[in-house]
Every structure is written in structure tokens, then in C-alpha cells.
């Protein structure tokens, strides 16, 4: 797929790039990654900005017990690698991998540097994509850290439903798989895995989540019910 094809397929991508001259747009390439492919080998020495068109990518975080779990992740509409344009950026010693089949528009950071600030709509849209993803993660971490475990896991599930729903058509209201393992949930929330099993069983019994073949699913009605439960428990 060419970048011109991608801009037709994804109107929101056209909105991001529409200001740029054709000779600049022609420098943007589209690439498909298979699950577990490395997108960015070293974030400290990365020379490209990725606009995720479809699919999911992630980085590992190591827990106190030495287990690796997914902390940061991105999906359709998100931008990763952007901070590579700053020469004195803080170190981020990590690699980024494709979690699912993933398609991304790839911009050389030299191009991003040239365009950022020069083209207002491009600058605003790239900034919004970065800030919204980071704000959602910071808010999740803040709420989960300062809430009892039953509220933390509901907040975590709400966040992940919204995250994974971005890979589906807006009209879709059926079950969406939450790809994180029970151990990943435990490590993220900093609670014992037995507590995760107990809390998920309670939510399943209450009809707020579904489990099939050990996989965790949430549909739109369950998401709305989870939101209402969290609101009632938090007031």
C-alpha cells in the first residue's frame, strides 16, 4: 500500500498529512508488521515516527518479581517514536514490538522535524495523538495506584475495552477480547494473581465480563455496566 492509498483508506490519516507538500508526503512509507516483529529496536536511537494505521504494538516492563508485562501499548490512530525528534530527550531504554498484525505509516524523523511547527494542522494533530495516549496511560496508572483492587481492576478493564475497541468499526458492539493475561493484569496492578482470578470470577458472575476458553471478553453493554459500577463504588 502506498501512502496515497492509505490516506484514502484512513480519512483521519489524510487529515494529519493533508497540509504537507506532495514531495514530503512521498517520503512517508507504509509497512506491515507480523506479530512479534520488532518495530523499534532501540527507542534511544530511533530515527522514525510511526503512525499506527491498524493493529497493536507494545513495550515490556519488568515487575519486581522479574516477570515481563505490557505497560505501554499503542493502536490505530496513535503515534509512537515521536520523541526521537528531540536531541536531548530523556532515555527510554526499550524496544517496541508488534503484538498483532500491524500496519503503520513511517515518517523519517528528519521530515517530522522539518514539518513540526511549520505546518500548524500537522503539528497539532501529531501532538494530539501523542498527548491523548500518554494522558490516558497516566490517568490509568494514577487511578489504579490510588484505588482498592476491586476499583482498580474495573478501571483497567474499562481502559482496555476502549483501547481494543479502536481496532473495530465504530458500529461494532459485540464482544472484544482483552489480550492481557491474568499475570499481566496482576503485574500492572501490583496485586497477587489469585486476587485477579477472584475479582474476575466475581465480575463474570455479575455478568460484567465474559470468559470463554480462558479468554477475557467485554462487549459494549458490559463496558457501560462496568462504568456505572465503578462510578457507584467511587462516590
* Nearest to 189, CA basis, from 95, 59, 64: 64
- pLDDT attached to residue 35: 95
* Nearest to 218, CA basis, from 167, 188, 173: 173
d(CA 171, CA 200): 27
Lowest mean per-residue pLDDT among 20-29, 166-175, 202-211, 214-223: 166-175
Mean pLDDT (the chain, rounded): 90
Fold exhibited by the domain 147-234 = Arc Repressor Mutant, subunit A (1.10.10)
Dump the DSSP string for 126-160: HHHHHHHHHHHHHHHHHHHHTS-HHHHHHHHHHHH
Task: Give tens-digit pLDDT for 138-160.
Answer: 999 998 989 899 999 999 999 99
Question: pTM of the prediction?
Answer: 0.87
Task: Look at residue 4 and tell me whether its pLDDT is greater than 60.
Answer: yes
CATH architecture of the domain formed by 3-137: Sandwich (2.60)
Task: Give tens-digit pLDDT for 191-215.
Answer: 999 999 999 999 999 999 999 999 9
Domain boundaries, the chain: 3-137, 147-234
Amino acid at each position: 500500500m502506498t501512502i496515497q492509498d492509505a490516506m484514502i483508506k484512513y480519512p483521519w490519516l489524510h487529515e494529519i498529512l493533508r497540509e504537507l507538500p506532495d514531495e514530503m508526503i512521498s517520503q512517508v512509507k507504509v509497512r506491515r508488521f507480523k506479530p512479534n516483529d520488532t518495530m523499534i529496536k532501540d527507542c534511544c536511537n530511533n530515527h522514525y515516527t510511526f503512525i499506527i494505521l491498524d493493529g497493536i504494538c507494545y513495550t515490556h516492563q519488568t515487575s519486581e518479581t522479574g516477570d515481563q508485562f505490557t505497560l505501554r501499548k499503542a493502536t490505530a490512530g496513535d503515534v509512537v517514536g515521536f520523541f526521537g525528534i528531540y536531541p536531548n530527550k530523556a532515555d527510554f531504554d526499550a524496544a517496541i514490538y508488534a503484538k498483532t498484525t500491524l500496519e503503520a505509516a513511517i515518517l523519517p524523523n528528519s521530515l517530522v522535524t522539518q514539518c513540526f511547527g511549520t505546518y500548524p494542522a500537522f503539528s497539532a494533530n501529531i501532538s494530539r495523538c501523542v498527548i491523548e495516549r500518554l494522558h490516558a496511560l497516566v490517568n490509568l496508572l494514577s487511578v489504579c495506584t490510588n484505588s482498592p483492587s476491586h476499583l482498580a481492576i474495573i478501571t483497567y478493564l474499562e481502559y482496555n475495552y476502549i483501547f481494543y475497541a479502536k481496532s473495530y468499526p465504530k458500529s461494532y458492539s459485540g464482544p472484544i477480547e482483552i489480550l492481557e493475561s491474568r499475570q499481566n493484569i496482576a503485574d500492572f496492578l501490583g496485586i497477587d494473581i489469585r486476587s485477579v482470578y477472584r475479582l474476575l470470577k466475581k465480575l463474570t458472575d455479575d455478568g460484567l465480563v465474559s470468559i470463554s476458553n480462558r479468554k477475557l471478553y467485554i462487549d459494549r453493554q458490559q463496558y457501560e455496566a462496568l462504568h456505572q459500577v465503578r462510578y457507584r463504588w467511587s462516590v
